[in-house]
Amino acid sequence: MKPPCIIIGGGLSGLAAAIRLARYIPGIVLLEQHTRLGGLNSYYYRNNTLLETGLHAITNYAEPGDKRAPLNRLLRQLKIPRKNLTFHQQITSEIIFAGKQRLLFSNDFVLLQEEIADKFPDSIDAFFDLLNFLDQFDPFAPAPFRSAKAFLLERLADPLLVDMLLCPLMYYGSSVENDMDLSQFAIMFQAIYREGFFRPHGTIRDFLTLLSDHFLSLGGEIRRGAKVTTIIQEGKRAIGVELESGEILESDFILSTIGHQETRTILGQQPVDNEPNRLGFVESIFQLPVESIPLLPRDRTVMFYSENFPFSYNQPVNLVDCRSGVICLPHNFDQITPEKTIEVRSTHLASYSNWQAIRADRLAYDKAKKQVRQQSLSVIEKYLGKFRDNIVYEDTFTPITIERYTAKRHGAIYGSPIKIKDGNIGYDNLYLAGTDQGFLGIVGSMLSGVSIVNQHILPRI
């Protein structure tokens, strides 16, 4: 039977879109090139343990009763009862601008307000005005790019406060260098400061299994190792897809979650001209025995630091820029009891082209990975305390790794700086969801999948 809709990409946006469709339409097919689902948010096995590729903390925490909260709306749309899930909330997170100032925040928004009142007393009134502004502002209304940075500088007047507030929001959700779109700022402000961080119980593998089982139970079909090489088209209609194996699958609708340029490539189109730099990241994982817990802070979940002010969020000139970064302690969520090992994770900005230049030379590439990891370790120990003697396993992934496993152009986690907010890429029955539609992160990408399906496919299929 010809599937009514094919979804390209088994990352979180593709899985969410697939479930949403399968709730009402039988025979939905999800195609994933990799042997494993999850895309950017997947897992692998090393040192006899499961390591997650991309889960620090999920944004948008909400209490079960809060019907309008994005998290609960998402679960409702997917028909996953909230009571089937156990969530662990963060303890406290911190923004540290070395030698300048520190700000704490948690899932209780009052903490951040108090911190700002205490440390930036001259800006607190302006901060409350900002909150009023954000309450009225509709970040989903279509609008051209507007600089959040310029807007905040004008409102809050204090450039240090502006950079400190932007740092976590950029790291967890900006595909644009040194700035973010005001709408994206409003979305991320809500997601991180007003709502906050949590983790589902277990690992990302459990979460992915829950999603894929749900999709299968609704009658969907998942094909792994199914790389789409061509989208077959007739004028403005997509007829079907061709897989690497040569197999052709026809379909009435196609939803691509692999990125805009990546989709253009399999449509046989030229890349979009003049795309600004894509942002690359390097992630290191340090695994420690559980006995090392007392060496590390007990009450910090995520730490966002910058050693330079103004904060720079751009493609570095070197392989990596450790002058700023994100440090995550995934065991520091409420009610998590690690069994044998714990992890320290670090994220820094990285240059795809510099990694690309050395990738062919395996030895140089591996050496660079190691050096970059050492560099990261030296910086993050300043904030965590010394733990290097306890490391039992360590690993680093670069933009090259991410490109290899997810086929994301330049291994850019947040995709293209240019977003296609309505998911419309000029076809009658082919749409774009996921990272390049514009909603970023785990909850964001899932909402992207759901909303593009709702907007373009469900009413017409």
Ligand X SMILES: Cc1cc2nc3c(=O)[nH]c(=O)nc-3n(C[C@H](O)[C@H](O)[C@H](O)COP(=O)(O)OP(=O)(O)OC[C@H]3O[C@@H](n4cnc5c(N)ncnc54)[C@H](O)[C@@H]3O)c2cc1C
Under the rule (CB under 8 A), what is the footprint of other proteins? 23-24, 65, 67-68, 73, 76-77, 450-451, 454, 458-459
- Max intra-chain CA distance, the chain: 66
Tell me how far, at minimum, the Cβ of 326 lies from other proteins, in Å.
31
> Given the complex with other proteins, which of 180 and 450 has the nearer CB atom?
450
> Given the complex with ligand X, which of 229 and 318 has the nearer CB atom?
229
Half-sphere exposure of 81 (CA within 13 A, CB side): 2
68 touches, from other proteins, ligand X, none (C-beta below 5 to 8 Å by class): other proteins
128 Cβ neighbours under 8 A, 6+ residues apart: none
> Given the complex with ligand X, which of 120 and 405 has the nearer CB atom?
405
Tell me how far, at minimum, the Cβ of 452 lies from other proteins, in Å.
12
Tell me how far, at minimum, the Cβ of 422 lies from ligand X, in Å.
16
Provide the token pair at 183.
Answer: 């709408």
Query: Is the sign of the CA dihedral 93, 98, 102, 103 positive or negative?
Result: negative
341 touches, from ligand X, other proteins, none (C-beta below 5 to 8 Å by class): none
DSSP for residue 9: -
**Pairing between strand 302-306 and 320-328?**
antiparallel
Tell me how far, at minimum, the Cβ of 254 lies from ligand X, in Å.
11
Provide the token pair at 174.
Answer: 């900006």
Tell me how far, at minimum, the Cβ of 79 lies from other proteins, in Å.
9
Which residue's entry shows tokens 């709408």? 183
> Given the complex with ligand X, which of 57 and 218 has the nearer CB atom?
57
Which residue's entry shows tokens 């809050």? 156
73 touches, from ligand X, other proteins, none (C-beta below 5 to 8 Å by class): other proteins
34 touches, from other proteins, ligand X, none (C-beta below 5 to 8 Å by class): ligand X
67 touches, from other proteins, ligand X, none (C-beta below 5 to 8 Å by class): other proteins
Q: Residue 351 in contact with residue 280, Cβ under 8 Å?
A: yes
Tell me how far, at minimum, the Cβ of 454 lies from other proteins, in Å.
5
> Given the complex with other proteins, which of 293 and 458 has the nearer CB atom?
458
Amino acid at 199: R
Residues at the contact surface with ligand X, assessed by CB under 6 A = 8-14, 31-34, 39-41, 53-59, 227-228, 257-258, 262, 266, 283, 402, 406-408, 413, 434-435, 440-442, 445
101 touches, from other proteins, ligand X, none (C-beta below 5 to 8 Å by class): none
**Pairing between strand 198-200 and 87-89?**
antiparallel
31 touches, from ligand X, other proteins, none (C-beta below 5 to 8 Å by class): ligand X
Burial bucket for residue 438 (CB in 10 Å: 0-12, 13-18, 19+): buried
> Given the complex with other proteins, which of 73 and 214 has the nearer CB atom?
73
> Given the complex with other proteins, which of 178 and 454 has the nearer CB atom?
454
